């Protein structure tokens, strides 16, 4: 591995990368989600149902739902020094928010996985009306939605 190349890290490759790069200076960057923290305030039943479907689909497909929350310990376990990290979340609301379409698009893309793993059927979702149902619920309850769960971002220079 050379320091002038970008490296995409997937899953357990982190441990291999640390071993290979003991003498290489460069940037290591991660951005991970804490998906279970997505929410709306006040609570919206459609929003909660959609996020539950999304979370259960990812979980049953074998993905870590809270890698953002586990990133610090994972990096320490890989032999890296304690990183400095930042957590941030996008907050949305209002009639023109792209959030409702984002959630519906995410659910639409997960349908081919959600059905075989037993989370739901396409008929349960009514996907074509999902974005508008979410929009109407948010407007009616004046919801503030954490549109994406908080991300943890690592300041890569903290690893040097």
* Span 54-77, pLDDT tens digits: 999 999 999 999 998 898 898 889
Q: Report how far residue 33's alpha carbon sits from residue 66's, in angstroms, rounded to the nearest whole number.
A: 6
CB atoms within 10 A of CB 149: 22
* Span 89-140, pLDDT tens digits: 888 899 999 999 999 999 999 999 999 999 999 888 999 999 999 999 999 9
Q: Within 13 Å and on the Cβ side, how many CA atoms surround 105?
A: 6
Binning the chain into helix, strand and coil, the percentages to the nearest 5 are 50, 10, 40
Query: Which of 9, 5, 27 lies closest to 17 in space, CA to CA?
Result: 9
Give domain limits for the chain: 13-159
- The pTM for the full model equals 0.75
């Amino acid at each position: 591995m050379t320091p002038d190349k970008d490296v995409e890290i997937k899953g357990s490759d982190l441990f291999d990368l640390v071993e290979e790069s003991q003498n290489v200076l460069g940037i290591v960057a991660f951005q991970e989600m804490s998906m279970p923290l997505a929410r709306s305030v006040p609570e919206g039943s459609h929003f909660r149902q959609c996020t539950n479907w999304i979370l259960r689909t990812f979980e049953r497909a074998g993905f870590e739902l809270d890698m953002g929350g586990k990133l610090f310990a994972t990096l320490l376990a890989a032999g890296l020094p304690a990183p400095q990290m930042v957590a941030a979340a996008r907050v949305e609301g209002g009639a023109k928010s792209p959030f409702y379409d984002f959630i519906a698009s995410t659910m639409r893309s997960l349908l081919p996985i959600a059905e075989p793993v037993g989370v739901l059927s396409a008929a349960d979702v009514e996907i074509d009306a999902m974005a508008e149902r979410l929009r109407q619920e948010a407007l009616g309850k004046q919801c503030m939605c954490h549109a994406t769960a908080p991300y943890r971002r690592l300041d890569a220079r903290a690893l040097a």
